[in-house]
């Protein structure tokens, strides 16, 4: 049997939330592996800037910028149509767009709760539906199927204080990943997997990590004693998109420096006042 490759040459991929942090790093890593990428985000200015940076020193036409609001199904449909128009087909969908909300649970409004779910769960749900329909139209299993990668969270597995809506939406996204992984491979040849980043400083969580002593306590309970980087998360996306990961289905790769398996361990003593 030939060796399984991490080479993504000839593969076309749509990355939502691809203008900063983990999303941008994923787009970069996929391009480095040879893929063609449509990078999408709500801000046209940010998506144009990201695409320009990603395209530097690369062949023309391998990066496409697309304004995209995942909370609007029509917006996602337009982004997918653009990917198919530019590249002829779409092979991989990466649902990375997300939003956080740190607030006491009793203070969360219905509008805030709905907005977080629209972006973190319903957006990916409708994107997965649209992606599957495209795969079916181009021949399903016979045309090579496809791969979906959902970016979940460590809060898909356990609770943290005052991020109830975020954790609930990311838990739902993990549930969606597992359900599609059972239903779609045999029908359409689509694998569905997830990545659960640990604590990686980014625009949506930087203030949360700085607030109070939460950041200190996270580091105390992370065996590797540091936060992660977007690039370390992105490497898993390459694996899941490539032939090397073709038998991986329904999994969630936790990339957290050992935080979730740490249990009770020695921690650095807090400085006495």
CATH (domain of 153) = 3.40.50.720
Among residues 122, 118, 124, which one has the least CA distance to residue 101?
118
Position 16 in a domain: yes
The single residue of 76, 126, 166, 188 carrying the catalytic annotation is 166
Digits of tens for pLDDT over the chain (273 positions)? 556 899 999 999 999 999 999 999 999 999 999 999 999 999 999 999 999 999 999 999 999 999 999 999 999 999 999 999 999 999 999 999 999 999 999 999 999 999 999 999 999 999 999 999 999 999 999 999 999 999 999 999 998 889 999 999 999 999 999 999 999 999 999 999 999 999 998 776 677 676 667 788 888 899 999 999 999 999 999 999 999 999 999 999 999 999 999 976 665 555 544
Tell me if residue 223 falls in helix, strand or coil: coil
Range of the domain at 41: 12-202+229-254
Structural domain count, the chain: 1
pLDDT score, position 273: 40
Residue of 238, 268, 185 whose CA lies nearest to 34: 238
Percentages helix, strand, coil for the chain (3-state, rounded to 5) are 50, 15, 40
How many Cβ atoms sit within 10 Å of the Cβ of residue 229? 15
Q: pLDDT value at position 215?
A: 83
In a domain, 245, yes or no: yes
- Strand arrangement of the beta sheet that strand 12-16 belongs to: 63-67, 36-41, 12-16, 92-95, 146-151, 190-197, 252-255
Residue 43 lies in a domain: yes
Catalytic site includes residue 166: yes
On whether residue 170 sits in a domain, the answer given is yes
For residue 28, is it within any domain? Answer: yes
What pLDDT, on the 0 to 100 scale, is given for residue 202? 79
Asked if the structure places residue 143 within a domain, the reply is yes
Q: What is the pLDDT of residue 268?
A: 56
Residue 92, beta-bridge partner list = 13, 147
Give me the pLDDT at residue 216, please: 84
DSSP for 103-162, please give it.
Answer: --GGG--HHHHHHHHIIIIIHHHHHHHHHHHHHHHTTGGGGT-EEEEEE--GGGTS--TT
Contact 238, 29 (CB under 8 A): yes
Structural domain includes residue 212: no
264 domain residue, yes or no = no
Q: Quick check: helix, strand or coil at residue 254? A: strand
């Amino acid at each position: 049997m030939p060796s399984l490759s991490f080479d993504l040459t000839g593969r076309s991929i749509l990355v939502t939330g691809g203008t900063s942090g983990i999303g941008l790093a994923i787009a970069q890593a996929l391009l480095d592996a040879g893929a063609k990428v449509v990078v999408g985000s709500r801000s046209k200015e940010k998506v144009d800037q990201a695409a320009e940076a990603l395209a530097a020193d690369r062949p023309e036409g391998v990066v496409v910028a697309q304004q995209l609001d995942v909370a609007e199904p029509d917006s996602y449909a337009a982004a997918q149509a653009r990917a198919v128009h530019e590249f002829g087909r779409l092979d991989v969908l990466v649902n990375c767009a997300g939003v956080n909300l740190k607030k006491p649970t009793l203070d969360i409004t219905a509008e805030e709760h709905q907005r977080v779910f629209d972006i973190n769960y319903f957006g990916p749900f409708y994107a997965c539906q649209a992606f599957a329909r495209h795969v079916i139209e181009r021949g399903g299993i016979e045309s090579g199927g496809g791969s979906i990668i959902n970016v979940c969270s460590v809060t898909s597995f356990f609770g943290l204080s005052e991020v109830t809506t975020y954790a609930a939406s990311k838990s739902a996204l993990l549930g969606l990943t597992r359900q599609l992984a059972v239903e779609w491979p045999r029908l359409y040849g689509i694998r569905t997997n997830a990545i659960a980043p640990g604590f990686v400083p980014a625009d949506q969580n930087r203030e949360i990590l700085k607030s109070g002593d939460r950041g200190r306590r996270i580091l105390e309970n992370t065996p590797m004693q540091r936060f992660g980087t977007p690039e370390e998360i992105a490497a898993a996306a390459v694996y899941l998109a490539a032939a090397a990961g073709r038998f991986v289905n329904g999994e969630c790769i936790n990339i957290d420096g050992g935080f979730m398996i740490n249990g009770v361990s020695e921690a650095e003593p807090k400085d006495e006042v």
